[in-house]
Structure 1
């Protein structure tokens, strides 16, 4: 199963209120709308694990002992996996007058003991007013009114009021859609956002930001938020997209001290989507441990691709939960990341041997994004990311940042000391004067290679992808290199190769996704091919006389 989990599971589990809450749900809650409506809730392993992580608390003895570990929780699962019902159950826990959702101390074994929230306020947001009753709030309404504790609530179509022992209002959950101003003074204890991939209009994003700001108004009640969604369209700027990109940046180490727990389960690359069986396996992977809800469900979903006018990109997005479709990516990330001994290109633990004859590629922006150097062993085709400078993701957009020129120059000096550098192909924009200085300092080893030349660039990319397909190129399995390879998208151009295939150059799949290491790798490979063409390996080896006996 392919997942992005941020932060990853710890070797030693954190204290959590999860076990008691799952027991509470199975005792006091029911299923929402659907085939199991009104039947006692059953928490499957996937949702149980999510609830456990969502309710982790700092351990006894910590300065924040008992406080929630995560201020924000976001879950991204494929269409049809009861994400909305999960949101409703969590809202039910947060609203119920007896649910142990906040830590009230620890028992003798150091396990947290829970208590209910005092006077909870729970806004539940959907992307349109028409959808409010059909999404999480509507599911919560069913859970409340059909469950065994219905007498503890006064439930209406737009708000559910919790009643105290004297029948007075003691907190509420209410449905919202696109109304940030109305919620400006709200004192939130928990908030739910459903189908956040659909929240991409400015007023919807503003509403989300306003509601997030409200979490600071009741610090004693340890407020938090839950988002649940399916993958959306990259570039739309939706709430889900912003959260997904943030999680990727946290996983890459570009954001420090995060308060987000994020789970994204999807079908990884490498599936054959041209066949029904291949699509079934992809759907199975995107579904995870839940499996089919009924016999033949996966096959029925897979057959949707067979319709003549089927929107395959949409199907790939919602049923495989992929943010980027295979057609959009420039390189085959599955082949790239797969271990070499299993037929892939990754050689973990490998490194360039000292004194090797190498070709280099250099690309990047000086004041934004990133800058990278990639080396290729001309004899073996092994690539290694030598250096990468990336602008921190959590840096203020208006803050000044610059790749340190002296560090880059020192990196080249170190490369020349350790290896025999045949030539470095450098994309000069933003570095024109610096590249000129390197050329003057090390004549014949540096060459300007402009990536804005469409035909040469497209041909270089084609050669790079052909090397991947034939496994001529391998790499040292650097996480940053791998990430940049996956971030590179196709920008089709009006040029075709001799086989009639349309050529493309590289572009970002998303404005915040950097791919400069991938571009440097492509330039480094182009330099290697030129070195072989010019007979670099045929040069006479240095002769060292040996003493004869």
Structure 2
């Protein structure tokens, strides 16, 4: 990929092989099934061989049957055997267990274990698993202890605030300011005053124990919130730190997979959560839009990750059911 200079390295190797092919030079590429949204070398090779019939490329690939029921052990086993063909050294039992592990997303299972190339192979959450976390019987109430995640923007992306109840991990949307993409509003910007008012109302309504905020565009405001509501409650959280963000992303993903998180069914939060696709980095998996210019926003999903991570830190700090007071500045 361009992000890690892989494309440059491959192009250099390919040029040298082409120059010396007559002398017997060959280039061997081995890879997992590619992600169609990354524009990888694997995808370029596949398209050259399969779609354009490029000469001097020998393409060999085994894909398992698509749309396998990942909860059916026998179906998974048959798919694994199909994908690995005559690779007799493969630990089929171990791969079946990995596919059926609740921490393994369908995207990872299909792409990395069953070798499926598909447009939705990188979806972050499985809709059925997210839907199973719906809880309409225990609504969020004023005075509940919560953590908050904030992801801000001014124009192109959305600004969102998501809360997470400490006692049960229930996520709920507090505020969302999203570009309407209306040609009659070419200069649309996030209503910063409305965002400020929503943050103030959140601290007045709930017992906010922890707030993680992604600083770009709102660093000055975050500083003021820290002064007003306590620097032991409002923290910067730079989402461009891959190691930390990968760990937080995996924490929420795993919780959804095993049903350790809840939500109230808000359609905008659900839309953003299901819009998110995964992007592989050396540190693990991050979430992103399905393409850089996509209109499918994911900002509320980022806020949900920050809120859920803040919940974990608040509980680790002993704040669950804590009654200690706080000083609020005006």
**CA, structure 1 residues 494+346, in 2 after alignment: closer, same or farther (shift >3 Å)?**
same
SS of the residue corresponding to residue 438 of structure 1 reads: helix
Aligned residues: 237
Q: Report the equivalent of 2:208.
A: 421
Find 2:243's aligned residue among 450, 455, 468: 455
Query: By percentage of residues, which structure has more strand?
Result: 1
1:352 partnered with 2:140: yes
Q: Deviations over 1:389-430 (max 9, x none)?
A: 11113447x921211011111111211221111121000112
CA distance in structure 2 between the aligned counterparts of 1:270 and 1:409, rounded to whole angstroms? 47
**Matching of residue 468 in structure 1 with residue 251 in structure 2:** no
Asked if 2 retains the 8 angstrom alpha-carbon contact of 1:269 and 1:334, the reply is no
Residue 506 of structure 1 and its aligned partner are, at CA, apart by 1.7
Structure 1 residue 304, shift from structure 2 partner:
11
Higher relative contact order (CA 8 A, sep 6+): 2
Q: In structure 1, what is the Cα distance between the partners aligned to 2:321 and 2:182?
A: 49
1-structure distance, mates of 2:80, 2:320: 52
Question: How far did residue 434 of structure 1 move?
Answer: 1.9
- In structure 1, the partner of 2:153 is 365
* Counterpart mapping for 1:147-296 below 5 A: 271-272=69-70, 277=75
Greater share of residues in helix: 2
Deviations 1:59-112 (A, max 9, x none): xxxxxxxxxxxxxxxxxxxxxxxxxxxxxxxxxxxxxxxxxxxxxxxxxxxxxx
Superposed, which structure 2 residues align to 1:317-396 within 5 Å? 323-325=119-121, 328-337=122-131, 344-348=132-136, 350-395=138-183
Q: Which runs of 4+ in 1 moved over 6 A?
A: 273-276, 312-315
5+ long unaligned stretches in structure 1: 1-232, 237-267, 280-298, 338-343, 496-502, 543-549
**Greater C-alpha radius of gyration:** 1
Distance in 2 of aligned mates of 1:472 and 1:482: 17
1:521 to 288, 295, 304: 304
TM-score calculated relative to the size of structure 1 = 0.39
CA contact (8 A) 2:68 2:76 kept: no
RMSD of aligned residue pairs (Cα, Å)? 3.4
Contact 1:366 1:431 in 2 (8 A): no
Give the Cα separation in 2 of the matches to 1:466 and 1:442: 31
Residue aligned with 2:168, SS: coil
- CA offsets 1:304-340 (integer angstroms, 9 cap, x no match): 964749xx769967xxxx6412xx1223332012xxx
* Structure 2: runs of 5+ lacking an equivalent: 1-35, 40-65, 87-109, 326-330
Q: CA deviation at 1:269?
A: 8.5
